[in-house]
Chain A
Amino acid sequence: MSDLQSALQGARFDGYVSVFEAQPAGMIQLRADLAEDAVAHAVHRATGATIPQPLGLSTGDRGEALWMAPDELLLRVLTDAIPELLADVQDDLRDHHHLALDVSAMRTEIRVEGAAVREVLAKVTPVDMETLKPGTVRRTRLAQVAAAIWLSNDETAHVLCFRSVATYVFDVLSVSARKGGEVGAF
């Protein structure tokens, strides 16, 4: 059995905000009709969370559910819990049209922390970072690649990108966060 290796080996850059790779999370991609009770039940059993609103994120005692598309959620849980939780989800939904997959190795989370996180992200994404509310998940473009961005508070941003471009995203965010690059826009 091989261990899950993180894409960036815990890389960190300290500029006028800090950019670092977050601890690897277990991730389950769930595609289904989000209006079905069985889906709400499965999501709750896996994470303790409710079905999030469109562009939302909901948190439970065992994980969180991110809204990715009208028919898609990303469940984030502890890595070790994945085999059991995935089996539970598939069992709960066995009579419903769905897809549930372990995609833990598919994406990397990079955390950006500091008072200027909105500005550092605004340099590299078309999202209006001035008005983005904590808890809103925006799948968007970050420089030249796709990424999901959300704030958990005004000084903590989470960036989720594909593992294959993790180094690129980390480098782009590090350049954006470099001291001397302050704009003071917000």
Chain B
Amino acid sequence: MLILHCPYCGVDADETELSPGGEAHLTRHGPGSDDTDFESYLFMRENPKGPQFERWRHAMGCGKWFHAARHTVTMQVFGTYPAQTQRPPQEILDRISAAQPGWRWRDLGDEGQRA
């Protein structure tokens, strides 16, 4: 059972109070965009075996959307953060690096291990 801290109401919400919203930090490509961008917006996902950034909604609670960083295999939760951002907070990135040196997710990752 997954328990995520809702950054809006402060509740440690049980998974059954939440609804999943898929992968986080997508760039929307709408009308007028080229086919490749539109395809990537609609279909291309990281789907990692490791750290993942996701959207969740506190559907049965305060109703707000938020972000969560979690490990898809161990289910370790690295943290949650508000939706009004395009990048995870540094402290969460650091926490992932501590648990999983060398991790990568799109253009994010463990800087120390990348070279």
Contact = CB atoms under 8 A, between A and B. Distances in A.
A181 interface: no
Contacts of A70: 8-9, 62, 64
Given A69-B8, A69-B9, A139 B62 contact: yes
B60 A140 contact: yes
Interface string B1-34: 0000000111100101100000000000000000
A69 B63 CA distance: 7
Given A126-B16, A126-B17, A141 B10 contact: no
Nearest to A127: B14
Contacts of B48: none
A141 B9 contact: no
Interface string A79-102: 000000000000000000000000
Nearest to B18: A141
Interface string A60-82: 00000000111010000000000
Contacts, number: 35
Given A126-B17, A141-B16, A54 B63 contact: no
B89 interface: no
Given A126-B14, A126-B16, A138-B11, A68 B60 contact: no
B61 interface: yes
A68 B64 CA distance: 11
A87 to B, nearest CB: 27
A54 B16 contact: no
A106 B11 CA distance: 25
A138 B59 CA distance: 13
**Chain A: interface secondary structure?**
strand
Nearest to A137: B9
Interface string A149-163: 000000000000000
B8 A140 contact: no
A172 interface: no
Interface in B29-47: none
Interface in A105-160: 126, 138-141, 146
B60 A141 contact: yes
15 contacts: A55-B11, A68-B62, A69-B9, A69-B64, A70-B8, A70-B9, A70-B64, A126-B17, A139-B9, A139-B60, A139-B61, A140-B61, A141-B14, A141-B17, A146-B59
Interface of A: 54-55, 68-70, 72, 126, 138-141, 146
Given A69-B8, A140-B61, A146-B60, 9 more contacts: A54-B9, A69-B62, A69-B63, A70-B9, A70-B62, A72-B63, A139-B60, A141-B16, A141-B60
